[in-house]
Chains A and B, each alone.
Chain A
Amino acid sequence: DQQVKQNSPSLRVQEGRISILNCDYTNSMFDYFLWYKKYPAEGPTFLISISSIKDKNEDGRFTVFLNKSAKHLSLHIVPSQPGDSAVYFCAARYYGGSQGNLIFGKGTKLSVKP
């Protein structure tokens, strides 16, 4: 049973436009959410995060929105650039009991065309 779901395997966007990547989760005990970016042949790199007590966090061109009632978060990239082309992973943390590891979605491959 997937606790973190990224239902779109791929997304194509024109350079300069907005990219919106979506993520749904099922576990209401998650208290922290993160986005990672992964280029081929490299490990994922941290991009941006949000605590469950907030509904928005912004860092430059990247904004993450959290809708707790819908158990949904999204990553907005404005404006999109060709260098943003990568696989984006949504991850969630349940910090309690014996767990402490991040649970990842399957990723969305973003392609930004010039």
Chain B
Amino acid sequence: EAGVTQSPTHLIKTRGQQATLRCSPISGHTSVYWYQQALGLGLQFLLWYDEGEERNRGNFPPRFSGRQFPNYSSELNVNALELEDSALYLCASSLVVGHYGYTFGSGTRLTVV
């Protein structure tokens, strides 16, 4: 069974540009979660999508947005990039937030220069 896949692995963008990160959940998983792991800050919750709808978002500005497609894959968009957006962005999927928690992908390392 394929795990959660994220692309690209690395992304370098210039301040002010837009970044698009992609995530394919485990087959059959309908919920997708996005987390940001900035240096020294642990995993910060960004967005939760389930069945194509945004269910919850963390304490991030509106320039962080995303969507979930009918095949349950998801996209995270970060507009007007700032230097402090440099981080590892992790995607996770689950059937529901159940006893075994999420399955995470390996992440996209975004560097803003």
**Bound-state Cα–Cα, A91 to B100, Å:** 12
On whether A46 and B56 interact (CB within 8 A), knowing A95-B97, A102-B97, A104-B43, the answer reads no
Interface Cβ pair total, 8 Å cutoff: 65
Q: How many residues of A contact B (CB 8 A)?
A: 26
Q: Do residues A89 and B43 form an inter-chain contact, with CB atoms below 8 A?
A: yes
Counting CB contacts under 8 A, is A67 at the interface?
no
- Cross-chain contact A43 with B92 (CB below 8 angstroms): yes
- Whether A93 contacts B105 in the complex (CB less than 8 A), given A43-B90, A43-B92, A101-B45, comes out as no
A34 touches B101 (CB 8 A): yes
User: Is B64 among interface residues, defined by CB-CB distance under 8 A?
Assistant: no
Q: How far does the alpha carbon of A107 sit from the alpha carbon of B37 in the complex, in Å?
A: 11
- B→A interface (CB under 8 Å): 4, 31, 33, 35, 40-45, 48, 50, 55-56, 58, 90, 92, 96-97, 99-107
Closest 10 CB pairs of A and B: A43-B104, A106-B42, A104-B43, A34-B101, A46-B101, A101-B48, A43-B106, A44-B104, A100-B97, A101-B45
